[in-house]
Structure 1
Amino acid sequence: MKNVGVIGGGTMGAGIAEVVAKAGVPVRVLERAEAVEAAQERIATSLARGVKAGKLSEEDSAATLARVTVTTDIESFADADLVIEAMPEIEELKVEYFTKLDSIVRPDAILATNTSSIPVIRLANATEHPERVLGMHFFNPVPVMTLVEIVTTLRVDRAVVDTVTEFAREGLGKKTIESKDQAGFIVNALLVPYLTSAMRMYETGFASAEDIDEGMRHGCGHPMGPLRLSDTVGLDVMLSVAESLYAEFNEPHYAPPVILRRMVDAGYLGRKSGRGFYDYSK
């Protein structure tokens, strides 16, 4: 991979761009004109944290930042070897951009999606080359979390899967696991029912958020409690994945709790909005 593109410069897109650039690969990030500066700032701030923590030198930080270009021009992705889509979990929006990319990139370029809830085959079918489309699901925060789920569709070419897996492992230094294309993939299919169970416990008044989280941290050895983790993931993302799981399997324990829906309606999205199950405004 000599040239990588990322669609979206939000939390996940900026994180993906950072790890690709750290690996020495030039990366181009597509953003709206009004969000270009914010995307650049996210990457610069993350790199600055790495320098402050002693994990990155000033020179390496500057070199990494120099490999990142944030642009509003999707036509500039024509020479990309790999494009990773990291837009909001809105299927119509993702389909629109996969259709656009399919007419721009080379026939041998690989298209990947970072979706955590939308069936990858629906995005692949928006292109003329579904055999070159797969899921490449990173975890937040991308520079810290070591795992990438490689999601295979029924139509993807095995050589594409092997190429992306090798790039994630050898190029980016990530641990990879391979999942079939069903809602939640491996990690979220197991994790989200646990997190929503904690929300239901809190919703009924059975226990406080603090006690639920402390119970799982100190009783089960989890590094973070379920409600704090939900806030970190983003409650809008949690809702989207829970809805996808329920639509796919129609099992009651996958259904999103009412409190999750109301919090998202209120704009309480967790850490990124300053308010979720906890208050982050200070």
Structure 2
Amino acid sequence: MSQFSRIGVVGCGLMGSGIAEVCARAGSEVRVVESGEQALALGRSRLTASLDRGLRAGKLTEAERAAALGRLSFHTTLADLADCDLVIEAVAERLDLKRAVFKELDGILTDPAAVIASNTSSIPVIELAAVTTRPAQVLGVHFFNPVPVQRLIEIIPTQVTDAAVTEQVMNFAADTLGKTAIRARDRAGFVVNALLVPYLVSAVRMLESGIASAEDIDNGMVLGCAHPMGPLRLLDLIGLDTAQSIAESMYEEYKEPLYAPPPLLRRMVAAGTLGRKSGQGFYGYGENP
């Protein structure tokens, strides 16, 4: 069985809202939880705007949009997820925050077979499974931004994840969500970020050392290597704070200098210039990023 009937999504930021959208569009009942009413309203607005864009682009009909919205509900307490059979955590990329969510969910979910998954970009999933009483039902499901568009999901079982749980989630990703699922070992960075992050932070170091401008670095990779987006624009899309967290997690795991976030990246994050979501990163995005 690949279908989950009730899905909880913890966090309704860029990733959480996208995950909730694709699950609702695929036919699942989805309950979204945020930390407060203001964050919840912002997340609901973000999700509705995404559905509206899909409608305008002809990616879904008015009836499909209405059906997806009808499958969504919005909440501010994890207790509202008690009878979910799959909960996907999509909070900020911080180990302490994620562990707190996992521990609370473990005590709330009424079905002992319910699956708890993390959308972490880089944190070893076993660090989250260890705070639960159901480590066999814990794994990583790493979506990519923007979730409704990007077709990949990384599935990351730990060394103690039940093989049947892994297969169920792999099948759900492919058969229900229509994504391509790849399996990765539980190592910081998994497949994509283990290859991508050294490339991105190298671009920051290149800019920091004055070798080339941001525009020339990005044009070099777009026009010279046929990348759809240059590394610095991609960092702005990902979010510089998220990129820093991923780089720190990978450096902590491997102690390889190529993973360490450069000083320029740290200073930009400290200054609140986080990329598109803040309106300013390596490029400016005006008032409506």
TM-score, normalised by the number of residues in structure 1 = 0.98
Question: Equivalent of 1:254, from 239, 259, 282?
Answer: 259
Question: Equivalent of 2:10, from 7, 15, 35?
Answer: 7
Write the distance in 2 (CA, Å) between the matches of 1:273 and 1:30.
23
The equivalent of 2:86 in structure 1 is 82
Assess if the C-alpha contact under 8 Å between 2:93 and 2:246 holds in 1: no
Write the distance in 2 (CA, Å) between the matches of 1:96 and 1:238.
22
Question: Equivalent of 2:51, from 47, 53, 56?
Answer: 47
The equivalent of 2:119 in structure 1 is 114
Give the letter aligned to residue 171 of structure 1.
T
In the alignment, does 2:138 pair up with 1:136?
no
Give CA deviations for 1:99-124 in whole Å, capped at 9, x if unaligned: 11111111010000001121100100
> How far has the Cα of 1:33 moved from its partner?
2.4
Shifted more, 30-39 versus 268-277: the winner is 30-39
Write the distance in 1 (CA, Å) between the matches of 2:229 and 2:212.
17
- Of all paired residues, the percent bearing the same amino acid is 57
Write the distance in 2 (CA, Å) between the matches of 1:79 and 1:249.
38
In the alignment, does 2:155 pair up with 1:174?
no
Give CA deviations for 1:203-241 in whole Å, capped at 9, x if unaligned: 111111111101100110100000000100000011001
Write the distance in 2 (CA, Å) between the matches of 1:275 and 1:152.
36
How many pairs were matched up? 282
Give the letter aligned to residue 243 of structure 1.
E
In the alignment, does 2:217 pair up with 1:212?
yes
In the alignment, does 2:194 pair up with 1:186?
no
The equivalent of 2:104 in structure 1 is 100
In the alignment, does 2:78 pair up with 1:58?
no
In the alignment, does 2:249 pair up with 1:244?
yes
The equivalent of 1:17 in structure 2 is 20
> How far has the Cα of 1:78 moved from its partner?
1.4
Tell me, what secondary structure is at the counterpart of 2:190? coil
The equivalent of 1:29 in structure 2 is 32
Tell me, what secondary structure is at the counterpart of 1:54? coil
Write the distance in 1 (CA, Å) between the matches of 2:242 and 2:43.
19
Give CA deviations for 1:137-196 in whole Å, capped at 9, x if unaligned: 000000000000000111111011000000000000000100011110000000000011
> How far has the Cα of 1:129 moved from its partner?
0.9
Give the letter aligned to residue 17 of structure 1.
A
Tell me, what secondary structure is at the counterpart of 1:141? coil
In the alignment, does 2:147 pair up with 1:151?
no
Write the distance in 1 (CA, Å) between the matches of 2:42 and 2:126.
31
Give the letter aligned to residue 13 of structure 1.
G
Tell me, what secondary structure is at the counterpart of 2:82? helix
Write the distance in 2 (CA, Å) between the matches of 1:97 and 1:23.
25
Assess if the C-alpha contact under 8 Å between 1:5 and 1:84 holds in 2: yes
Give the letter aligned to residue 112 of structure 1.
A
Runs of 4+ in 1 over 2 A off after TM superposition: none
TM-score, normalised by the number of residues in structure 2 = 0.96
Assess if the C-alpha contact under 8 Å between 2:214 and 2:282 holds in 1: yes
In the alignment, does 2:69 pair up with 1:69?
no
> How far has the Cα of 1:34 moved from its partner?
2.4
> How far has the Cα of 1:28 moved from its partner?
0.1
> How far has the Cα of 1:23 moved from its partner?
0.1
Shifted more, 27-36 versus 78-87: the winner is 27-36
> Gapped runs of 5+ residues in structure 2?
none
> Gapped runs of 5+ residues in structure 1?
none
In the alignment, does 2:276 pair up with 1:271?
yes
